[in-house]
């Protein structure tokens, strides 16, 4: 495993998905000369360091709520804010990414999923043991109505 990685991509959405994946693997963006991102050209690029120096990962952004929006002009501040949101448990909405004069991304809070233990799932409860199986009721077909003749032809 390497101590650094370069995320390079032309497509803004794919670039941010790759950035999110790298952050989840322990790589960090830094606001340094070597780590300063290039986001406004055709080719987007950022240099990430495994673990990274905490002094260079400071962001004024504080994610709160179920959904956060990151809006920045500066590329380094933008990636540091997105990184902070990812580390706080948010997931990037790749369709929301905008790289223009203003850099924008929307992130949603990941919902915690409680995993059921396999033993609890296998054991039948007392109610399921005692309850007789109910047969599904057959639907009745309506009877065809007979035409009543009034005697006039």
- 70 belongs to a structural domain: yes
Query: What is the pLDDT, as a whole number, of residue 65?
Result: 86
Phi, psi of 129 (to 5 degrees): -70, -40
- 136 belongs to a structural domain: no
* Residue 84 domain boundaries: 4-50+61-109
Query: What is the pLDDT, as a whole number, of residue 86?
Result: 92
Would you give the DSSP letter of residue 55? G
- 99 belongs to a structural domain: yes
Rounded to a whole number of angstroms, the distance between the first and last alpha carbons of the chain is: 95
- 28 belongs to a structural domain: yes
Cα 105–Cα 45–Cα 80 angle in degrees, nearest 5 = 45
pTM: 0.68
75 is written with which tokens? 């590329």
- 148 belongs to a structural domain: no
- 17 belongs to a structural domain: yes
- 141 belongs to a structural domain: no
Total domains in the fold of the chain: 1
- 149 belongs to a structural domain: no
Q: How far, in Å, CA of 57 to CA of 42, rounded?
A: 25
pLDDT in tens, the chain (153 residues): 679 999 999 999 999 999 999 999 999 998 888 888 998 888 999 999 998 777 777 777 888 889 999 999 999 999 999 998 998 899 999 999 999 889 999 999 987 655 555 554 555 555 555 555 566 565 666 665 555 555 555
Q: How far, in Å, CA of 86 to CA of 39, rounded?
A: 19
* Residues 140, 51 contacting (CB under 8 angstroms): no
Would you give the DSSP letter of residue 48? E
């Amino acid at each position: 495993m390497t101590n650094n990685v370069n995320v390079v991509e032309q497509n803004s959405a794919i670039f941010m998905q790759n950035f999110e994946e790298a952050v989840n693997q322990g790589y960090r963006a830094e606001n340094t000369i070597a780590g300063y991102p290039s986001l406004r050209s055709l080719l987007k690029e950022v240099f990430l360091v495994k673990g990274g120096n905490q002094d260079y990962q400071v962001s004024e952004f504080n994610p709160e709520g179920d959904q956060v929006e990151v809006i920045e002009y500066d590329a380094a501040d933008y990636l540091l804010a997105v990184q902070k949101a990812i580390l706080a448990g948010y997931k990037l909405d790749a369709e929301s990414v905008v790289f223009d004069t203003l850099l924008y991304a929307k992130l949603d809070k990941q919902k915690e999923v409680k995993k059921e233990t396999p033993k609890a799932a296998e054991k039948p409860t007392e109610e399921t043991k005692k309850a007789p199986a109910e047969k599904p009721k057959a639907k009745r077909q309506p009877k065809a109505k007979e035409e009543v003749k009034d005697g006039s032809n």
